């Protein structure tokens, strides 16, 4: 990846940081996609677990 300023390709520290960030983001997204494909019910199980806050605030009306 490079940026063009006035038609001149620019390669530098900022561009390198953007490339690394993009690569890391792609890895995370691909990992999350694989998790969903391997275990589609995981998200449902996670949402069904009681939260720590609900047990802490056990208010009975």
Q: Which two tokens stand for residue 58?
A: 């056990």
Residue 58 lies in a domain: no
CA distance 44 to 38: 14
pLDDT tens for each residue of the chain, 61 residues long? 566 777 777 777 777 888 889 999 999 999 989 988 888 787 777 777 776 666 666 666 5
With respect to residue 57, please indicate whether it lies within any of the assigned structural domains.
no
Q: How many domains does the structure of the chain reveal?
A: 1
Q: Which domain holds residue 38?
A: 3-47
Alpha carbons 40 and 32: distance in angstroms, whole number: 11
**Taking the complete model, does pTM exceed 0.85, yes or no?**
no
Residues 6+ apart with CB under 8 A from 36: 42, 43
Does residue 52 lie in a domain region?
no
The angle subtended at Cα 55 by Cα 60 and Cα 39, nearest 5°, is 130
pLDDT of 44: 77
Contacts of 18 (CB under 8 A, 6+ apart): 1
53 assigned to some structural domain? no
């Amino acid at each position: 990846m490079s940026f063009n300023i006035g038609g001149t390709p620019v390669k530098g520290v900022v561009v390198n940081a953007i490339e690394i960030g993009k690569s890391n983001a792609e890895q995370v997204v691909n990992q999350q996609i694989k998790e969903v494909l391997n275990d589609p019910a995981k998200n449902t199980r996670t949402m069904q677990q009681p939260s720590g806050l609900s047990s802490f605030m056990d208010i009975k009306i």
